[in-house]
A and B are shown apart, each in its own frame.
Chain A
Amino acid sequence: QQQVKQSPQSLIVQKGGISIINCAYENTAFDYFPWYQQFPGKGPALLIAIRPDVSEKKEGRFTISFNKSAKQFSLHIMDSQPGDSATYFCAASRGNYGQNFVFGPGTRLSVLP
């Protein structure tokens, strides 16, 4: 019940295309859903996050869509650029006490020029 599933494992998109990564969770106690971006040799960096009382959040080219009833959320990268090539992790956490995240297995995105 603590698991967060993520798909696809890898994704290849042409420059200017839309990249879509999907995540699903089981634990309905989760109440915070961030996405992290990780470049080779670097630690993950927070990209965008959403709470379950919101169905969509957009920041620049990045949008999270959240479906509470389906227990699914997804990351959309519009106008994908080669610089977006990285590994993306969805995550989930609950409560207001401390940092305790469950991460998805990651999606390796390659954007072709």
Chain B
Amino acid sequence: KAGVTQTPRYLIKTRGQQVTLSCSPISGHRSVSWYQQTPGQGLQFLFEYFSETQRNKGNFPGRFSGRQFSNSRSEMNVSTLELGDSALYLCASSYGLAGPKETQYFGPGTRLLVL
């Protein structure tokens, strides 16, 4: 079974631009969660999508948004990029039926650098 894939793997943007990251979950998984990982703040939960609906949301500003398509693929968008948005963005997928106690599988991440 193919793992979670994320594209692109690396991205360089400038302040004020917007960016869209993509995540393809493991086949059969309907839950996709997004995380931001930085050296200073560690791993922080952004949001979770299940069956095209946002089911959980972390404590990030509205510049961070996401969506999920009918095939469970998900995108996250960051508008008006700030230097502090430079991070590794990870997505994770799971079946989404058993809550947090269900194993979620992480992709390799997209490394975003904002200049």
Q: Chain A interface (Cβ within 8 Å of chain B)?
A: 32, 41-46, 49, 51, 89, 91, 93-106
Contact = CB atoms under 8 A, between A and B. Distances in A.
A interface secondary structure, majority: loop
B99 A95 contact: yes
A98 B106 contact: no
A41 B58 CA distance: 24
A93 B101 CA distance: 8
Contact of B43 (A42, A95, A98, A103): A103
Nearest to A89: B43
Contacts of B58: 100
Contacts of B96: 98-99
B107 A105 contact: no
A46 B103 contact: yes
Contact of B45 (A41, A102, A104): A102
Interface of B: 4, 31, 33, 42-45, 48, 50, 55-56, 58, 90, 92, 94, 96, 98-109
Contacts, number: 73
A103 B90 contact: no
A45 B106 contact: yes
Contact of B42 (A42, A43, A105): A105
A33 to B, nearest CB: 10
Nearest to B103: A46
A94 B45 contact: no
Contacts of A100: 45, 48, 56, 58, 100
A46 to B, nearest CB: 5
B55 A42 contact: no
A100 B84 CA distance: 22
A104 B105 CA distance: 18
B42 A98 contact: no
